[in-house]
Amino acid sequence: MARAMTITIHVPAPLRACCDGASELLLSAPSVRAALLQLERSHPSLYRSICDETGAVRRHVNLFVNTSHVRDREGLDTALVPGDVITILPAVSGG
């Protein structure tokens, strides 16, 4: 599949152990919810780090689609188009 036709998920360093060290994952999905459901099947431990048992994004996880927080879009129903990038924002406190 051509990269331009896919959604890219940027995985922060602390969660890469859940996906064999990959810093990004490629998939095809029409919405954030659909992308996460694919993750649930392909990388269940990564999915559980992002979503709680009800399927909601965990309170401490920030998901961005391109430059926008999903909270400011349509949450899990945010539509995706090929080329979109989902970023799982890592929490960084080092100084």
Partner 1 sequence: MNDEQLLRYSRQIMLPEIDVSGQERLMRSRVIVIGLGGLGSAASIYLAAAGVGHLVLADADHVELANLQRQILHTSRDIGRAKVDSARDHLLALNPDVTITTIKKRFKDDDALEKAIATADAVVDGSDNFPTRFAINRVCVTTGTPLVSGAAIRYEGQVSVFCRTQDSPCYRCLYSNEHIAAESCAETGVVPPLLGIIGSLQAIETLKLLIGIGESLEGRLLRVNALTMECRTSTLTRDPNCPVCRTHRRDQDEGQTAARTR
Residue closer to partner 1 (CB basis): 16 or 37: 16
Phi, then psi, of 30 in degrees rounded to 5: -85, -10
| Cα–Cα distance, 93 to 18 (Å, whole number) | 21
Q: Which of 3, 21, 41, 93 binds partner 1 (CB under 8 A)?
A: 93
| Cα–Cα distance, 21 to 73 (Å, whole number) | 29
Q: How far is the CB of 52 from partner 1 (least distance, A)?
A: 11
Q: Which residues bind partner 1 (CB under 8 A)?
A: 12-14, 58-60, 62, 64, 67-69, 71-72, 87, 89-95
